[in-house]
Amino acid sequence: MRVIEIILESNGIRAGTPGEPYTDPTGVEYKFQSWNWQFPDGADKYETSEDMQADILALTGGDMNKIIWVNQPTNRHKSFGVAIFATDEGQEMFIGAFFSKKSSNNTILDKEIKAVAGLRAGSADKPSSAAVKADARLKPFDVGIADSGRKSINTIVNAVSQHVNGSMLSHGLKFAIVGQPIVFLDGAKLKPALQDDFGEVLCPIAMISGHPSVKGDFTKAVSDVFKAGDVSKATISYPVSQTNGLVDSYIHLAGKEIGVSSKGKTGANGSINNVWKAKEQAQETETGRTHIANYPYAVEILDICKEHQRNAPLELGLKFGLINADEKQAIEALMENPRDPNYQLTGNPKSPEQIIKPAMPQDLAKVPRVLQRIFNLGGYKSGSFVGFICLARVASLVAQHVNSDPEIDFGEAIRLFLNSSAMVQVKCYMNTKQDDAIVDKINVVYPPNFKKKAKMEANWFSGKQIKGGFSFSLPTS
């Protein structure tokens, strides 16, 4: 496994190690040489685009086409970074990206490198696990079952059989149903995708089928949640939303459910439905009821988010004194028709991604006077709308307040609610034998053991849309 995968796939090339192989579409292998993000030298930003261009030309010996860029420069880009790859014969490839300022966090992702240059991580005969998973497309959404509908095992098997690798996948599921060793024939090359992605499909099926590879605490979870021992008639649902983050599937029986979360997930964002449901389920245990009693402010915040959804920032903003009643009423009025062209902002049409601050006079004139305090708290881009901007500002204020107030202690409350909920954490382990991938163990942890704290996030609110209310960055599992 590549070092970059061990650390975090999302770190991209900045976590790379010199010598790591990449392969082009014709099978030619390159090796990663270096990642240089320290442009400009001695400052965080270039003063002008011309200064930045001069350094690029100096780096490439005056060859404008030597660097393959993953993005195009705009007025806000004042720095750049370049990754260098080379074959054993000395053929080089430069791949670069533009950034707003110099930072050690700047990076280029493997998927961006593949998109612009055709290089996939891994050697010609052994692609990286990230590349395998991206190409195989074996998550519940990819195999056609992520629609939130409750399905029998047979319905799931039939749906999976329609996938391009459907014969292999459905046969593996049938082994799980009848208690035989779970073998994915000719699946050795797809092991990372089968284990991590298709494991989200496989694990709940193996669990309710009583497969001997299932180890750990599933029996205890069934007894606690369902008050039963036999779950063979349970159904399974896979959330349709790609913003769920926390839960990969639900096992349903007799009006109750157990959430199934892949152990080891980091950096995912959960929806209010995920987190609120965990809080509700926590009330069913003595420990959970204690946590709920100890964190009343967090409970109230979750209830408001659940009840008001996209308007929750206004309710919470007023509650915490971050906005007044007149500001709340004015934003509500704008959100009745949020894309009214009379309230669309011009910004810089020649550079729509440029963040404008302070506001241009013609844009500020479109903002009701009662909202100018809120509007002027940050910048905006061309094409944004006043209502969306002001709602996003309030959402950001609320998230900062909720996350920082020690009396609320929101992140710890969410962690404890999750650890008291009707949820299991699952990890699928596979090995290979010749050309086949074989399930070694499916380990179930119950009660959950989420670590660190959660955070309320306002990043689903923007100047042009609302993706789904507040989200919650989840503690590691």
Q: Do 20 and 103 have their domain in common?
A: yes
Same domain, 8 and 86: yes
In a domain, 238, yes or no: yes
Tell me what pLDDT residue 269 has.
Answer: 62
**Does residue 353 fall inside a structural domain?**
yes
> In this predicted structure, what is the pLDDT of residue 7?
34
CA–CA distances in Å: residue 337 to residues 233, 328, 374, 388, 459? 47, 15, 19, 10, 21
Please return the burial class of 182, using the count of CB atoms within 10 Å of its CB with bins 0-12, 13-18 and 19+: buried
- 107 and 13 in one domain? yes
- 157 and 99, same structural domain? no
Please check whether residue 475 lies inside any domain of the structure. no
Residue by residue, pLDDT tens for the chain (477 residues) are 333 343 334 578 988 888 889 999 888 999 999 999 999 998 999 999 999 999 999 999 888 789 999 999 988 899 999 999 999 989 999 999 999 999 988 999 988 999 999 998 888 777 767 778 888 899 999 999 999 999 999 999 999 999 999 999 999 999 999 999 999 999 999 999 999 999 999 999 999 999 999 999 999 999 999 988 899 999 999 988 644 467 889 999 999 999 998 864 444 566 788 788 889 888 887 888 999 999 999 999 999 999 999 999 999 999 999 999 999 999 999 999 999 999 999 998 888 778 898 999 999 999 999 999 999 999 998 999 999 999 999 999 999 999 999 999 999 999 999 888 888 999 999 999 999 999 999 999 998 888 878 889 998 899 999 987 898 886 555
CA 277, distance to chain mean position in Å, is 20
Q: Residue 263: what pLDDT?
A: 60
Assess if residue 468 is contained within a domain.
no
What's the confidence (pLDDT) of residue 475? 59
If asked whether residues 362 and 248 sit together in one domain, one would say no
3-state SS of 328-356? Answer: HHHHHHHCCCCCCHHHECCCCCCCCCCCE
Q: Indicate if 40 and 87 belong to the same structural domain.
A: yes
Tell which residue, 414, 473, 472, 471, has the closest CA to residue 448. Answer: 414
300 with 280, same domain? Answer: no
- The span from the CA of 275 to the CA of 272, in Å, is 5
395 and 314 part of one domain:
yes
Q: Has residue 223 been placed in a domain?
A: yes
Q: Are 72 and 49 in contact (CB under 8 A)?
A: no
Res 26: pLDDT? 86
Instruction: Give the residues across from 249 on adjacent strands.
Output: 260
Nearest one of 298, 326, 296 to 314, comparing CA atoms: 326
- What DSSP letter does each residue of 295-321 carry, written as one string? -HHHHHHHHHHHHHGGGHHHHHHHHTT
Q: Is position 143 within any domain?
A: no
256 and 329 housed in the same domain: no
Cross-strand partners of 236:
151, 251
Look up the domain containing 29 and give its range.
3-128
Count of domains forming the chain? 3
Residue 396 placed within a domain: yes
Same domain as 260, residue 231: yes
Q: Is 202 found in the same domain as 123?
A: no
pTM score: 0.65
User: Are 81 and 114 within one domain?
Assistant: yes
Does any domain span residue 145?
no
